[in-house]
């Protein structure tokens, strides 16, 4: 059965998976969702004998049905190759009574590599399949990690250009250096005078600008997205939930068919939504625990059914979660409202115009698969320190939030279901915050001294991604105000 895609704000018009990957965002401003969730048709016992590439194919092929087996396997083989420094790609490690799925063994040491390593291949194959003549311009906003992973994935890929906007002063020093030292004739990076939500709103505005779209077409360009709003980003993420389950079966933690929990540090809601899709496919998932930092808009939503971005935006040590507009939540809202475009559009318009919307009690009851929790900066630091002291295991600040929220969940519910914490970044990416959480004396040192200290403390080799930026030349130094983002894009494209 072919899986087709429709917009969360559309009239039900269906397009193929490759067309949805190419477009990124629907013309009406909606996000593409599958017209049906395919079933995982592999016996759960057999998953334990499969490697990551095999599981990725088993999952992705169910969603992107207009790609051939040869095309998808070629994409997967190119994506999950030696750029990952662990042969398992995403090792699952037992620490105390919980498992951590490490999604940061790719070239940019963050979980975005898991999807952005394959997206360029999905996109270029989609262009050929659909006889696209225009050059693809990847336009994306980042809260820190997507930007570098997308830049690395698309650098010097023929027929593409990539423009990344990030909040100046709103990402870690390492995150910024990774982006502004990126090489590639087709790469462009812009620091925005604003926060991530400002940058993301500016990007969405350009996607929906009809006049700009016509101007691009005249110059033989068209926009596509590398954000998790692109279904080509979301679908590959479903695979690693199935992978984590397979590892717990393999190591004897569970028997095939038993349920597990996932704890996901959450900002834009794409990662945890992929976990939800894995459950809808038939993976035995008990709870999806949504972990927020001080910007706890999602926690409040799961508590009350009211989504309200009218609040102070707080810069934290987990910047990829410093988000007040969680774009992918729109997909979940669309599903729980019975895929009623009119109701979804009304909610999204309220969010734009009034900054909030409230779902019904009946709709809120359909969120039972999720549990919302949050950890503030002090709690996060304490959890990072205790995990190191108890288990000699060092987590980054985002994983620290998830770990802390899990401990609160356990205390509140007593739920002893085997649990996987989704570890989204290497501690090396946030060395200062991690090291000062363990001992405040480290705050007196510079960033690269802290890298050496973290190496000694964690006994984990310094990743190649960190070694490369220590002496790298700064290539990108463009700064823009929010209202000048379009001018920056036109300048880069000479239009």
Q: What is the mean pLDDT of residues 6-30?
A: 95
Whether the CB-CB separation of 31 and 332 falls below 8 Å is answered with no
- Note the pLDDT tens digit of each residue in 144-190: 788 899 999 999 998 999 999 999 999 988 899 999 999 999 999 99
| pLDDT, position 97 | 95
| pLDDT, position 471 | 84
Q: Which residue shows structure tokens 């190191």?
A: 388
| pLDDT, position 173 | 87
Whether the CB-CB separation of 199 and 319 falls below 8 Å is answered with no
Please report, for residues 10, 299, 334, 347, the alpha-carbon distance to residue 363 in angstroms, rounded to integers and kept in the order given: 21, 16, 10, 13
| pLDDT, position 448 | 85
Q: What is the mean pLDDT of residues 44-61?
A: 97
Q: Is the pLDDT of residue 285 over 90?
A: yes
- Note the pLDDT tens digit of each residue in 299-340: 999 999 999 999 999 999 999 899 999 999 999 999 999 999
- Note the pLDDT tens digit of each residue in 345-398: 999 999 999 999 999 999 999 999 999 999 999 999 999 999 999 999 999 999
| pLDDT, position 228 | 82
- Note the pLDDT tens digit of each residue in 90-117: 999 999 999 999 999 999 999 999 999 9
* Buried b / exposed e along 240-256 (16+ C-beta atoms within 10 A): bbbbbbbbbbeeebbee
Percent of the chain beyond pLDDT 70?
100
Q: Which of 325, 290, 99 is nearest to 205 (CA)?
A: 325
Q: Is the pLDDT of residue 6 over 90?
A: yes
Confidence of residue 470 (pLDDT cuts 50, 70, 90): confident
What average pLDDT is seen over the chain?
95
Q: What is the mean pLDDT of residues 209-235?
A: 93
- Note the pLDDT tens digit of each residue in 37-47: 999 999 999 99
| pLDDT, position 474 | 96
Residue 431: its H or E element: helix 431-438
| pLDDT, position 172 | 87
CA distance 91 to 99: 10
| pLDDT, position 344 | 96
Residues whose CB is less than 8 angstroms from the CB of residue 431 and which lie 6 or more positions away in sequence, other chains included:
174, 447, 450, 451, 453, 454
Whether the CB-CB separation of 110 and 104 falls below 8 Å is answered with yes
Burial grade of 284 (CB within 10 A; 0-12, 13-18, 19 or more) = middle
Parallel, antiparallel or unpaired: strands 478-481 and 187-193: parallel
Whether the CB-CB separation of 371 and 290 falls below 8 Å is answered with yes
| pLDDT, position 421 | 98
Angle, CA 387 vertex, CA 398 and CA 269 arms, to 5°:
20
């Amino acid at each position: 059965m072919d899986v087709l895609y429709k917009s969360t704000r559309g009239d039900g018009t269906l397009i193929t998976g490759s067309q949805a990957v190419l477009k990124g965002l629907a013309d009406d401003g909606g996000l593409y969702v599958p017209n049906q969730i395919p079933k995982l048709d592999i016996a759960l016992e057999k998953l334990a004998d499969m490697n990551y590439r095999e599981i990725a194919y088993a999952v992705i092929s169910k969603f992107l049905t207009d790609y051939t087996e040869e095309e998808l396997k070629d994409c997967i083989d190119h994506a999950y190759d030696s750029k990952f420094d662990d042969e398992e790609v995403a090792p699952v490690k037992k620490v105390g009574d919980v498992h951590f799925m490490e999604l940061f063994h790719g070239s940019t040491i963050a979980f975005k590599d898991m999807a952005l390593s394959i997206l360029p291949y999905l996109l270029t194959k989609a262009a050929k399949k659909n006889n696209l003549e225009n050059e693809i311009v990847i336009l994306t906003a980042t809260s820190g990690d997507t930007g570098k992973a997308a830049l690395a994935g698309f650098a010097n890929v023929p027929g593409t250009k990539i423009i990344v906007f990030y909040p100046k002063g709103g990402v870690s020093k390492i995150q910024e250096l990774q982006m502004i030292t990126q090489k590639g004739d087709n790469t462009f990076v812009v620091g925005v005078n604003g926060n991530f939500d400002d940058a993301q709103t500016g990007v969405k505005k350009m996607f929906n600008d009809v006049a700009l779209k016509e101007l691009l077409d005249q110059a033989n360009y068209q926009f596509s997205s590398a954000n998790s709003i692109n279904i080509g980003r979301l679908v590959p993420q479903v695979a690693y939930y199935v992978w984590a389950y397979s590892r717990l079966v393999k190591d004897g933690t569970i028997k095939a068919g038993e349920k597990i929990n996932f704890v996901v540090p959450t900002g834009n809601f794409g990662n945890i939504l992929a976990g939800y899709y894995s459950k809808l496919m038939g993976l035995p998932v008990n709870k999806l625990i949504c972990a927020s930092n001080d910007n706890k808009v999602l926690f409040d939503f799961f508590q009350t059914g009211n989504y309200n971005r009218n609040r102070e935006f707080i810069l934290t040590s987990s910047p990829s979660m410093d988000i007040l507009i969680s774009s992918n939540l729109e997909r979940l809202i669309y599903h729980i409202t019975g895929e009623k475009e009119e109701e979804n559009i009304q909610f999204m318009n309220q969010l734009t115009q009034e900054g909030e919307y409230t779902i019904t009690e009946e709709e809120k009851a359909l969120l039972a698969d999720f549990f919302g929790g949050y950890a503030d900066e002090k709690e996060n630091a304490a959890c990072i320190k205790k995990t190191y002291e108890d288990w000699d295991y060092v987590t980054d600040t985002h994983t620290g939030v998830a770990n802390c929220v899990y401990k609160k969940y356990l205390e509140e519910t007593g739920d002893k279901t085997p649990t996987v914490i989704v570890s989204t970044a290497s501690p090396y990416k946030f060395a200062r915050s991690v090291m000062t959480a363990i001992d405040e004396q480290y705050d007196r040192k510079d960033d690269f001294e802290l890298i050496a200290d973290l190496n000694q403390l964690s006994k984990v080799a310094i990743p190649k991604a960190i070694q490369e930026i220590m002496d790298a030349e700064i290539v990108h130094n463009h700064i823009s105000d929010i209202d000048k983002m379009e001018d920056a894009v036109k300048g880069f494209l000479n239009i």
